[in-house]
Amino acid sequence: MAKKDAYGITQPDVGEWRGEKLCRRYIADYKPFNFVDGEGVRCSLYVSGCPFKCPGCYNAAAQSFRYGRQYTAELEEQIISDLAQPYVAGLSLLGGEPFLSTPILLPLVRKVRKRFGKEKTVWIWSGYLYEQLLAEPEKRELLNLCDVLVDGPFIRKKFVRDLPFRGSLNQRIIDLHTGGEYRI
């Protein structure tokens, strides 16, 4: 059963939080041609729903699984079309908690890989640690389709202003092809 850790962040047991049970197919926002969510020009999809409830979360409204609007086939087509622009480096998946939106993100990222192969990178942010994601099949499947993971919950006591691509020092930027941390 989920419980709060020393930083006030709700932590689940392995397998307790599952995308197919929690996801309501809502997104908080979609921002094409974004310059802040990863390297290069990105198309950023912010999913809704996050039970970690990190104190000081920069996107607290997106913690609700019903925040924002429904994810649609039309939006998915728009994302693929936007990614086709030659100046776009890739797709960024943020939240909310992307690994609890696997019912929408797995099909989307599969389409991105089918259409663009490795030409476009996929960055994904998570309150889970990399090691936790490896323990659950649905999360591991999504992880295997991505290139870069920014892992770990936001911890206000470890906040550093202007830290590239993350909010607190505990969060790691992991190259998923090598398993090593990015040094930015």
- pLDDT tens digits for 116-141? 999 999 999 999 999 999 999 989 99
Q: For the whole model, what pTM was predicted?
A: 0.94
Give residue-wise pLDDT tens across range 133-170. 999 998 999 999 999 999 999 999 999 999 999 999 99
Architecture of domain 3-175: Alpha-Beta Barrel (3.20)
DSSP 127-157: SS-HHHHTTSHHHHHHHHT-SEEEES---GG
**Contact at 8 Å (CB) between 112 and 93?**
no
In 3D space, the residue among 19, 1, 18 whose CA is nearest the CA of residue 10 turns out to be 1
Query: Judging by beta carbons within 10 Å of its beta carbon (0-12, 13-18, 19+), is residue 45 exposed, middle or buried?
Result: buried
Per-residue pLDDT of the chain (184 residues; tens, 9 = 90+): 888 888 888 888 778 888 889 999 999 999 999 999 999 999 999 999 999 999 999 899 999 999 999 999 999 999 999 999 999 999 999 999 999 999 999 999 999 999 999 999 999 999 999 999 999 998 999 999 999 999 999 999 999 999 999 999 999 999 999 877 665 5
Dist CA 179 CA 177 (whole Å): 6
